[in-house]
Amino acid sequence: MKTTGTIALCSTLLCTLLGGCSSQTPVSSYQKNQSLSSSEEVTLTLTGTTASFRAMDTVISSFNSLYPNCHINYEYVQDYDKSMMTRLTNNEDVDLFITNNITSDSQYLPYAMDLSKQSDALKLTDTYEGLIRNFTISGENGGLYAIPLGGEVRGIYVNTTLLDSLNLKVPSNYAELLSCCAALKAKGYIPLQGNPGNFGVMLMYPYTANLIANADDYEKVYTQINTHQAGSSALLKEPVSRLYELVSNGYYDYKTVETNLNLFKDGTDTTLAMNFLNIVTTDQETKKIDDIGQVAFVPGTMSLETTLDKTKDNYHSAINYQFILSPVGDDGGYAYLSPAAGIAINKNSKNTAWALEFLNYLFSKEVNKTFASQQHIISNTTDALDVIKKSFAVDDHHISQLGQVTFDYVFYDVVKKTCTDVSKANNPKYMQADGTMYPLQYYMDAFETALVKKD
């Protein structure tokens, strides 16, 4: 399947299609590269993992308005990793491609241009240094092989339609979350839902990261965990204990949801969106059940909103939702900034000069902010942290980023396993012989063992 952004639309039509003009087609302030030919027709192929990529189509259209002779075709590639390797190894037409971070062991490394060596042609002055650094391979043979399109934030989606129907308010802290969950459970709902493979870590990792990044003695805490010192789990007990409390109260009960409601059996964005919006598939058809839903809260990434919006539109759902930072702290939620997917240049492209210019355009401040807004991510701009503060009304003590909690061992996987195990604690399969949940200390002991285990 192919979509293309090469059609030259008049400004009036483009404003109508994109819902605005100056905010959606930001070309006026960008300075053209006069060294590029304006007479020779050029076509670039950009491959991606999604059939629909509205945010990128917006950028492509406005880039084509600036450079009418340069056409960019966005192509959706199925079975992406396998198909892309075939195309790259066969030197087929690919100029730019969407990718996760390209690390030293990535299959894409031999085919991606080292952008750190393109300082004369590539201008990244508007980007956020923290996101760029996290995509940079360190060491003698290191480099920058992809640029994050923006930043990702984790939180929860709130079904405001369901809450409104029960006269409940969107919770803003942990006490309010518990109160809201108790009221929902009394009405027969299981308030928090999601696949156990990512539910716990999606809900609690930002809190965990902030406990480290914003500790009064950050260097000491970071060193203690990074060097696997005994007692490290105690520093992170609160997120684990609060997740345990939600599970023990039955506010999250994935097995009942799977068995009785047939929901959240996998962790894909499509399934999450369908389940959250109460859209079901039978042998005959796929349809919405109602316009209220039965899921109050579901953890997810900020960018999931693109899938939710599209699903809501496709099935004409009237359920309204709001993305908030997970309110698991005494004074609110926590933002954890990590890189979103990135974009790379095929070093074997015949149009690298134009590909570099497209990246310059995409990562200019005004353009990237438009892209990020439509993609529901944090812009890869110098003011990324300020964007988070304004978007979620939080201060520096409620924000952390990947670079502050990057360890010499697989810390994230340890936290994820602990959160997953706790998320499954009320499943009879994982309970004690007497049918009760294992105590919190059982999970804390396993967490401690994993944290201090030597490589």
- DSSP letters, 70-126, are EEEEEEE-SSHHHHHHHHHHTT-S-SEEEES---TT-TTGGGB--GGG-TTT---TT
Could you write out the DSSP letters of every residue in 253-295?
-HHHIIIII----S--HHHHHHHHTTEEE-SS-EEE--SS-S-
pTM as predicted: 0.89
Query: Which domains are assigned to the chain?
Result: 2-148+341-376 (3.40.190.10), 154-336+395-452 (3.40.190.10)
Average pLDDT value for residue range 231-235: 96
> Which of 38, 455, 16, 418 is CA-nearest to residue 205?
418
> Which of 418, 419, 436 is CA-nearest to residue 427?
436
Query: H/E element holding 336?
Result: strand 335-339
**Is pLDDT of 130 > 70?**
yes
Q: CA 383, CA 365: separation in Å to the nearest integer?
A: 9
**Is pLDDT of 26 > 90?**
no
Q: CA 41, CA 196: separation in Å to the nearest integer?
A: 51
pLDDT of residue 402: 85
**Is pLDDT of 58 > 50?**
yes
Query: H/E element holding 130?
Result: helix 129-134
pLDDT of residue 4: 39
Q: CA 54, CA 442: separation in Å to the nearest integer?
A: 47
Helix axes 199-213, 218-226, angle to 10 degrees: 130
What is the rounded average pLDDT for all residues in the chain? 92
Confidence of residue 10 (pLDDT cuts 50, 70, 90): very low
Predicted confidence (pLDDT) per residue in 253-263, tens digit = 999 999 999 99
Predicted confidence (pLDDT) per residue in 172-190, tens digit = 999 999 999 999 999 999 9
pLDDT of residue 19: 36
Average pLDDT value for residue range 36-65: 95
pLDDT of residue 15: 38
Out of 115-124, 219-228, 265-274, least confident range: 265-274
Predicted confidence (pLDDT) per residue in 325-349, tens digit = 999 999 999 999 999 999 999 999 9
- Residues 277, 157 contacting (CB under 8 angstroms): no
CA distances from 408 to 109, 218, 220 (A): 22, 16, 15
Average pLDDT value for residue range 47-52: 93
Average pLDDT value for residue range 283-302: 94
pLDDT of residue 275: 96
- Return the higher-pLDDT residue of 453 and 433: 433
- Residues 19, 55 contacting (CB under 8 angstroms): no
Out of 19-23, 159-163, 286-290, least confident range: 19-23
Predicted confidence (pLDDT) per residue in 394-420, tens digit = 999 999 988 899 898 899 999 999 999
Percent of the chain as helix, strand, coil, to the nearest 5: 45, 15, 40
